[in-house]
Structure 1
Amino acid sequence: MALPMISLEAVNVEASDPAALAQFWATVTGGRAVIHGDTAFLPEARPGGFAMFFQPRSGPRPERTSMHLDLTVPWGSRTAEVDRLVLLGATWRWDVLDEYPHVQWSTLSDPEGNLFCVAEHPPTVGS
């Protein structure tokens, strides 16, 4: 039996202000948000990237979400990227630097409080 050809089309986000949150993520990813009425679409900024769709929140914001984005940056650039994202409106929450030898990450939240991580992986021996 052949495995299905499946890929991620877009991350869907409910937001209090879909246009503003889409603009934040457009600046983060280098993309350009397309606003249409009360929704916004952010196409992938480059091949292999990811798209995002923002729609009005349909109910109260959950106390805790069960999913979040893990973003990856080149080794040695995490701190500068976190600083850039904080200047754009993200909030730094915590760092995890020595729990796993294969990754270090910082957890942040976007302007509406959605958590996401910025991770870096050390080069492998021989790279």
Structure 2
Amino acid sequence: MTNPLPIPPVTLGAINMEAEDPQALAAFWAEVTGGTPAVSGDHVYMPAAHDGGFAMFFQPMTGPRPDRAASHLDLTVPWGSRVATVDRLLDRGATHLWDVLEEYEHVQWTTLADPEGNAFCVAEHPPVAGH
């Protein structure tokens, strides 16, 4: 079946996360993204900090945390800034999990966990010749 209507652009509205402490986790992610959290009761919304960024919404846990995450965030930083970014996030409460530095020529990344154990990656892509 074909769709005769054009597909409108799809953008990322927000990342939604459950948290044991939504305000504390929002504060950590504000350090990651540069966003400014806004508390409303036991929920926290943080709009995107800049064009091309993403918003985040934090809410209280509704059940036990799964043993394994089915997805995680891959964040991209400019080439040459991954190490400094990782060091900054470690200073603010992230935990280092592992690095992938030589397996792929088009990307290097470090996998971290936020203060509640949610894994995320900080990646950098080397410049492409001619671009």
Deviation string 1:20-65 (CA, Å, 9 cap, x unpaired) is 1001111111111001111100100011100000000100010000
Q: Describe how 1:43-122 pairs up with structure 2 within 5 A.
A: 43-122=47-126
State the TM-score, normalized to the length of structure 2.
Answer: 0.94
5+ long unaligned stretches in structure 2: none
Identity %: 64
Question: Which aligned segments of 4 or more residues in structure 1 are displaced greater than 3 angstroms?
Answer: none
SS in 1 for 2:130: coil
Distance in 2, Cα, partners of 1:23 & 1:50: 15
Q: Secondary structure at the match of 2:102?
A: strand
Tell me by how many angstroms 1:126 deviates: 2.3
Give the match's secondary structure for 1:99.
coil
Q: What is the TM-score of this pair, normalised by structure 1?
A: 0.97
Give the corresponding residue for 1:24. Answer: 28
1:72-110 deviation per Cα after TM superposition (whole angstroms, max 9, x unaligned): 011111011100000011011100011211000000000
Write the letter of the residue equivalent to 2:48: E
* 2:17 equivalent in structure 1: 13
Q: Which runs of 5+ in 1 are unaligned?
A: none
The one-letter code sitting in structure 1 at the alignment partner of 2:23 is A
* Higher percent of residues as strand: 1
